[in-house]
Structures are given as structure tokens and as C-alpha cells.
Structure 1
């Protein structure tokens, strides 16, 4: 009897849970059906291939090409901003009415639907649908619209107005130049009085060819690519006297040449007049007004393009470190369990925090200037023999880099340094040497 009395409450609880679950699902289904019923348009976003917006400002027509990219065909022939057009289509697909009612054609004017101020037609292949945009409600939270030839007026969120009311400039693609940086093999910056050229040695290395031969920095080159790809049109120059002299293209303030792996090239010409800064593709006819900010950020000297990292390595590839001075040597390495240990002058567990901090400091240290004409005797600047030497090795003791630290220039608190990757002598901040290369053994080991 006791088990029977226990069984019935459990069954009842199970039935109750099932009932609540089914009720909740039924409620959700009802909401979904209600939402579908209030959806204004039903279409496949990816199949929309034409949009026409007619208003008292004129007509704007957009057409999707075979390459799946959008173009303006009216009032100008130009590339359209793919993200902006995609946003319009997405918004149209997400329109839901909060209220609907039938009115006679004579009453259309009350809702701003007659005469037609804004009419939108969307094509999905052979299938077309359209709507008229009316006035906003007094609260400006909603707007009246009417589909095609229907007499039914719908009330939808007013965000639709902001999406549809974009002007031609907003719809145009404002990208000045597009390219795949992986396809670039040469970059040249040509100023009126100087020029700089770098070329790609391989996927990870750029070399400077002009005005000196030296290793260029990957980060420095990529920063130029970033600036060019982010360059946007502030104004399309149209209806003016488009000539080189007017925009300063006859005496450009900068020319940027991009050489591709297929031996083709593109050149951007930057000019300036009293109205501002302008750019034009050498092979194109369009002129764009742009912000002068890019010109301020572009390299002005060879130092800006050079690799300035004293140890251009990846942190995880470092498996052993040798720190030496004229009277002391400390060797640190990772054991078979990938744990840091001190292996010389004694054996001890390594202080992982201090060792990783040292590695990060080395990788973040940069040359603050280069010395292209060093003294014949490197001993005069403390590099032969060095005051301090840092050797970084990879797995299986594979040599990665050797860094030599020279004497301190007390007036500038900089010291001489060189690595064996490029044998380029330069000056680094002595604070790095003072704080991290003092060869304090106790700092790198864990006391028992």
C-alpha cells in the first residue's frame, strides 16, 4: 500500500509537468503564427536582385550583378556599398505591422500615401513587390505604409524611414582601393623629394630596397596596407573641371605604387589644393576628396619602415635562454615536461613568471634609432666583446637569435645593441637592460 500511495503523486507530477510543457509550446507556437501573420513581406534575401526607390528627390535604382555585388544604375552608374544595401534588404525582411486597417482611396492623403512621396519596388527575379511610405505618427515611433494596390494601411516601426531615406552618397561604395595584401609583392612611396621601396622576400619577410637596403618590418608594412584599405571617400568630385592641375595631381604630394605577384601594378596619386586633399587611381578617371589624416600617418623616413624589433620572434618558439656578462653566465631551458628550469650555474626549478616576463620584455624591445655608419672598432661601443649577450634557442637547441648589448650613452640613457639576424647596430632604451638583464640568478629560480 505504501508504494501505491507514492506512485500516484509521482504520476500526477509527471502529468502536470507535461501539461505545462505542452501549454508553453502551444503559447510559443501561437506567438510564432501571430508573428508570421504580421510579417509585411516574405522573400529570399539572397535572391533579391533589384531595388528602386522613387521619391520627391528623384529615383534611385540598385541592381545586383552576376558577381553578386550591388551597383547603382540610377542616377549614376557606380559601385554600391554592399553592407548598406544588404542592411536595407535585411530591414525589409524584418518589417512587422503592429496595426492594419482598410481605408478608401480618398483617405490615403490622411496617412501621407497620396500623392506618393516615396515608393519602393523590390525585385526577386520575375517577382516584384512594392510599398508606399507615408507619414510618421505624432510620436515618430511608427510610420504608415501601403503595399502595392491594396487599400489596407499598415503601421510599422519608423526605423524603416531612416533605412529607405538614404541618399546616393550613402549608397555608394566609398572604398578608394581594394586589394589582397597577400598578392602584393612590392610597395613604393614616392614623395616630391624622396622615395621608399620595399619588396616581399617571402610570406614573413619584407626587405627595403630604397633608399637603403635593410630588413623592413612586417607590422610597419601591414600598417600601410591597413591605412590604404581603410581609406574612404568623403566626397565624389563630379561636375567640376577634373584636371590634374586643379587637384594638384601634376605635382603630387605622394604617390603609392602597389606591385602585384602577377607583375601588374596600381598607383594612387595624392594631390592637394585650397579645398583639401584628393586622390585618384592613375588608371582611373574618378577623383575623390579624402581626409588628410592618412598622409599624416604614412612613413616619412626609412626608419618608419624598418623592422625595429630587436628580437622578431614568436614567444612560443623560445625553448632556452643564455644570459652572459663578462664574468657570469645563466642558462635557462624548458625540460621534457615543458617546464622552465635553471640548468647553469646550478640546477633548480625555474620561476616561470620571471622567465616569461623576461621573454616578453625582450620581444617588446625595439631599436629607437639605427646606426648605419658604426665605428670600425666595435669595442669602442662595447659590442666586441659585448657587455651583455642574450642567446635565444628553439626546440632541440636550434639557434634563433643572438643579441649583443654594448655600453651606455649616459647623456641619452640609451645603449648600443645588435642582433645576428641582420647585424644592424642601433640604440635601445637602457631601462630594459637595467631592469631585465642584470643577471640576478635568484630572480630566475624557485627557492626550495
Structure 2
């Protein structure tokens, strides 16, 4: 009997728990969800939307491949965050207060005609949200929904996102391209043509007979500027004459190529107007204006883009420094603890901060001018043998080999390991290496 009673008691407890869960908890959740739906100005599933029309702007949006595009009055990609902002504001709009209940009052609240209409097509049905005046306090805006004669007060975010023009919604990207896939850049400027290519992960300036290592930072700067360039104003959707905009021929042209997929993306820039320039993406019809900052970035010479460093390494990477000076040779290397020690001309613990300063100065050496790209002889520049030589290594591998020769005025001839060219570098930069070995050594203790 005891077991039978216990079993019945357990069944009653399970039934009670099920009742509490399904009736009390789930029922409460369902009621709260229904209450939330009822509080919304318009309840709909955002994912089910197929078209959105915004009036009186006369803009029609259509979802294609899960992306919103403009199909009227023009065909264009959208600024996704702007159209999504409009949709989200409609979806989240709530009936904060009921203001009126009859159609005769619509005009009193700016709803006949409405200031704005948002027409949503979803799941085969169409709903329209009408937006009117702001409330006297400006805290809310009057709104109503098709099929409902009630006038409600709702948040002003709905009005903010609906009170926009075509320009706000359309994609303003001047030139769309995948920055990471670009491996060739052609710049056509008023004074010159420049071509750079990416080979084995490095950028090179291309000439007929040679290629010159480019400054990756400068190339990235140009790519970023073009990639981030936005249209400030759309001037003509389908221009009949490009010449009036200075685009036939263009004053400036940047062509970006990706050999992996064969795509070429070209931006042309023409006349200057009101602190902007006319421009066009050659794959599209519209003429638009771009900021002057873009043109400033494109006004470059080969010298601006070439790598001016004599060696490409970071100071902290060096664990060996060999410094050949006019009257002495200094050799320092890091021990197993990472501290610098001198091994020539004396031995002992070195002042690590001073050695690090020397490797940093070597890493920072930059050319001021190209003297000769491919010299047949280095002797006339005092570079064979050099007056100074700076060698840095990392784990036995040379990461910098810089030679410095004769002084000429306030400069020295120099060459590095990134190019065979002979450059001029500043005398003040060379003077930083004129140091006595005693200045690099820590004072020895009596034990030493």
C-alpha cells in the first residue's frame, strides 16, 4: 500500500508541475508575448519583407539575395544600415498612447495627407504606416496603420528614419573593390603615369627595365583612401557628355586590378567644383563628386611611393650588431637572457638601452635622394670599402647590411640591402653612430 500511495503521490506532483509549467509559466509567457504584439504599431516579421516603399520620397526597395537594393526611381545598392534603420524603427514602434479613434481626425494630426508613408509587403500582404506631425512637446509623433482608424503617439525615431531622401539610402561607395585581392595599381596623373604591382607579397614600382621596391605603407594608404572614398553628391544619373565634367579625358585615373579573378576597377576624376571633384566609376553611369582629400592622396610621384628605408627590420629583432666605424669595429650580441654584451674590441656587459638605440637608428635610416639606381662601381662613392658598415642579425641571419661612404655636404652616400641604388642620407643620422666602445660598456665591478 505504501508503495502504491507513494506512486500516486508522485503522479500528482508530476501533474501539478506540468500544470504550473504549461498553464502558469508558459501561459504567462504567451500572454506577455501577446501583450507585446498588441502594443506594437505594426507587428510583422522583418525576414518576411519583400519590398518597402517610402513616400513621398518615391523610393522603392526590394530584397534580392538577402540584400536590400533600390529599384525606383533608380537602380542602386543601398547603405544597408540606413534601410535597416528604417525597417527596425517601424518594427520597434509602439502605441505609446491612443490619441483618436475616428478617420475624421486624421487631418488634425498631419495624417491626411500623411507626412510620410512606409508601405511594407510581407507574406503576400501589404501594410502601410502613416506618419504625421510631432506631438506639441516634440516627444512623440502621430501615426496610424492601414486598416486601423486609431491615431497613436509613437516614438520619434520612426519619423527620423523615414524623413530621408534618396541620397541617404543609396550606396555612396565611389569605387567598390576587394582591397585584399588588388595586386596591380595604375595611376594616370596630369604629369605622369605610375604602375605598381604586388609580387611575392611585396609591392614594386614597375619601370620598363627594372622594378623598384615600393613603400607598402604608402601603397596601403592609397588603397584605403580609394576604398573609403564616398560620393558627396550625385550630379547626373546618365550623363550625355563626359567632357563637361572633365572626364573625357579624365584628369586623374586609378585602375585597380586583381589577376586572380581578372577584375579591373577604374575610378576617373575630372574637374574641380566647390572644393570637390567630379568623378565616376567607369562600370556605372552616375557622375558624382568626391572630396579633395582623395585627389591629394593620388597626387604622388615615384619617389613618394618608393621604399626609402635602407633596411627593412624592427629594432627589437636584432640580437647581433656589428658596427664598422672609421677607426674601430664594435661587435655586440645578446646573451641567453636577452641582455646585450660586447665581444669586440672589449668584452663585458653592454648598456642595453644604448645598443637598442643604435639598432633603432639603423632601422630608421632613410634615403633623401637617389644618386644612381644601378651603379657599376661603388668606389667613387666611398662605398668600396665603406667608411661605415652596419650589420644586424637575428638568430645568425643577416637582417640589415648598410654601407655608408663619402660625405658630400650635409649628406653621405649610402646603400642598403633592399636595393642596389646609391642614396644620399643625412649627416646628422650618420653622426649617431660615431660612438666610443667605452660608452657602450657597463662599469665593471671589482669582482669582474
TM-score range, shorter chain: 0.7 to 0.9
Q: For 2:237 and 2:67, locate their aligned partners in 1 and report how far apart those are by CA, in whole Å.
A: 27
User: In structure 1, how many angstroms separate the alpha carbons of the residues matched to 2:44 and 2:358?
Assistant: 59
CA distance in 2, matches of 1:314, 1:46: 51
Q: For the structure 1 residues 265 and 226, does the alpha-carbon distance in structure 2 shift closer, same or farther, using more than 3 Å as the test? A: same
Of 194, 214, 217 in structure 1, the residue corresponding to residue 215 of structure 2 is 217
Q: TM-score, normalised by structure 2?
A: 0.80
What is the CA-CA distance between 1:374 and the residue it aligns to? 8.0
Higher deviation after alignment, 96-105 or 325-334: 96-105
Aligned to 1:257: 255
Give a deviation string over 1:123-178, Cα, whole Å, max 9, x none: 44546544211111233332222233334433333233222111001111111211
Residues 405 and 415 in structure 1, CA contact (< 8 A), matched pair in contact too: yes
Structure-1-length-normalised TM-score: 0.80
Cα distance change of structure 1 residues 114 and 251 upon mapping to structure 2, 3 Å threshold: closer
Structure 1: distance between partners of 2:135 and 2:198 = 60
Structure 1 CA distance for aligned equivalents of residues 73 and 411 of structure 2? 62
Counterpart selection for 1:427 from 418, 421, 424: 424
Partner residue in 2 for 1:327: 327
Alignment of 1:367-406 (within 5 A): 367-372=367-372, 378-395=378-395, 397-406=396-405
Judge conservation of contact 2:70–2:78 (CA < 8 Å) in 1.
Answer: yes
Q: Is the 1:368–1:426 Cα contact (8 Å) retained in structure 2?
A: yes
Q: Helix, strand or coil: the match of 1:420?
A: coil
2:69, 2:75 within 8 Å by CA — same for their partners in 1? Answer: yes
SS of 2:223's partner is helix
Residue equivalent to 1:60: 59
Equivalences for residues 182-201 of structure 1 within 5 A? 182-201=180-199
- Aligned-residue offset at 1:199: 1.4
User: Which digits, 9 at most, give the CA deviation of each residue in 1:309-344, with x for residues without a partner?
Assistant: 222224554332222212222333333344444443
Q: Please state whether the residue corresponding to 1:304 is helix, strand or coil.
A: helix
Mark the runs of 5 or more structure 2 residues left unpaired by the alignment. 1-28
Quote the offset at 1:402 in angstroms.
0.3
Deviation at 1:426, TM superposition (A): 1.6
Aligned-residue Cα RMSD (Å) equals: 3.2
The structural deviation recorded for 1:207 is: 4.0
Q: Quick one: distance in 2 between partners of 1:338 and 1:286? A: 60
* Alpha-carbon shift at residue 241 of structure 1 (Å): 5.0
Q: Which has the larger radius of gyration?
A: 2
Cα 1:199–1:209 shift into 2, 3 Å: farther
State how far apart, in whole Å, the 2-side matches of 1:64 and 1:341 are: 68
Shift of the alpha carbon at 1:391? 1.1
Q: 1:19 maps to which residue? A: none
Question: Corresponding residue for 2:3?
Answer: none
Partner of 1:51: 52
**Would you say 1:278 and 2:278 are equivalent positions?**
yes
Contact 1:211 1:302 in 2 (8 A): no
* Contact residue 103 and residue 152 of structure 1 kept, 8 A: yes
Q: Is this contact kept in 2: 1:196–1:211, CA < 8 A? A: no
Aligned counterparts of 1:154 and 1:293: Cα–Cα separation in 2: 47
Aligned residue number for residue 301 of structure 1: 301
For residue 9 of structure 1, what is the aligned residue in structure 2? none
Give me the whole-angstrom Cα distance separating, in 2, the residues matched to 1:90 and 1:156: 14
Change (3 A) 1:444 1:69: farther
In structure 2, the CA distance between the partners of 1:251 and 1:75, relative to structure 1 (3 Å rule), is closer
- Return the alpha-carbon distance in structure 2 between the equivalents of residues 339 and 125 of structure 1: 71
Q: Does the residue aligned with 1:371 lie in a helix, a strand or coil?
A: strand
> Separation in 2 of the partners of 1:44 and 1:108?
27
| Consecutive unaligned residues in structure 1, runs of 5 or more | 1-28
Matched, 1:157 2:152: no
CA offset digits 1:249-299 (Å, max 9, x no partner)? 333212222222134423333222777632233344332222333222214
Paired with 1:301 and 1:312, the residues of 2 have a C-alpha distance of 22
Q: Of residues 213, 230, 242 in structure 2, which corresponds to 1:244?
A: 242
Q: Judging changes above 3 Å, is the alpha-carbon distance between structure 1 residues 76 and 398 closer, same or farther for their aligned structure 2 residues?
A: same
Q: Which string of whole-angstrom CA distances, capped at 9 and with x for unpartnered residues, describes residues 51-110 of structure 1?
A: 21112xx421111211x3321111211221123223333444444554344532222222
Q: Do the aligned partners of 1:257 and 1:268 also contact (CA within 8 Å) in 2?
A: yes
Partner of 1:336: 336
- Partner residue, 2:115: 117
| 3-state DSSP of counterpart to 2:224 | helix
1:203 CA drift (Å): 1.6
SS in 2 for 1:285: coil
Equivalenced residues, count: 411
Indicate the residue corresponding to 2:167 in structure 1: 169
SS of corresponding position for 1:182: helix
